[in-house]
Amino acid sequence: MSRIGKKPVHVPDGVTATVEGQTIRAKGPKGELQFVVNDEVLVKMQDGAIVVDPRDGSKQARSKWGMSRTMIANIVNGVKNGFEKRLEINGVGYRAAMQGKNLQLALGFSHDVVYEVPDGIQVATPKPTEIVITGIDKHKVGQVAAEIRKFRPPEPYKGKGVKYADETIFRKEGKKK
């Protein structure tokens, strides 16, 4: 039995959620999102909450049960509060700046890296060494953060590169004489 799947997804005040067949739509103060649940999972509204159950006891249905409940909880939380990822840039001369809709990164290459920010995502640079990514879709926010980090992942010797704010870099000792 899925411990996550058993819990109903409570719909908070200010958010309207509707279940139409296998499609769940959530509308809140930050925007509107929808998610199409797999056919092996049954979804229904019950007492102001969304309840997810597997259609049968098969391994496929049970494996998609908890994931579907989490995805529904993410869209409900996203339209209410939104999601945020913070990145830090470490290294001499490494910096980030917004130029209109694009993020310009100086990461030690012979050229600046220009990243085009997708729709539905907001990127801010409060400091030249800090990037804040916000949006209502948790998957998109995480994907954008991973793509920016991928330009220059942190290296283990000096810790230079782009890292998540809550990430710790395992440091290695250099060569000894």
What pLDDT score was predicted for residue 1?
Answer: 64
Domains of the chain: 3-80 (3.90.930.12), 83-164 (3.90.930.12)
What pLDDT score was predicted for residue 177?
Answer: 78
Give every CB contact of residue 137 below 8 A, 6+ residues apart in sequence: 33, 75, 78, 83, 120
Output the pTM of the full model.
0.88
pLDDT tens-place values along the chain, 177 residues long:
678 888 999 999 999 999 998 899 999 999 999 999 999 999 999 888 999 999 888 888 888 999 999 999 999 999 999 999 999 999 999 999 999 999 999 999 999 999 999 999 999 999 999 999 999 999 999 999 999 999 999 999 998 999 999 999 999 998 887
Tokens of 81: 């509060």
Tokens of 52: 């997810």
What pLDDT score was predicted for residue 84?
Answer: 96
What pLDDT score was predicted for residue 70?
Answer: 94
CB 106 within 8 A of CB 94: yes
Within a 13 Å sphere around the CA of 56, how many CA atoms are in the beta-carbon half?
5
| Residue with token string 């049960």 | 65
Closest to 104 in 3D by CA, of 82, 120, 89, 91? 89
Tokens of 137: 């879709």
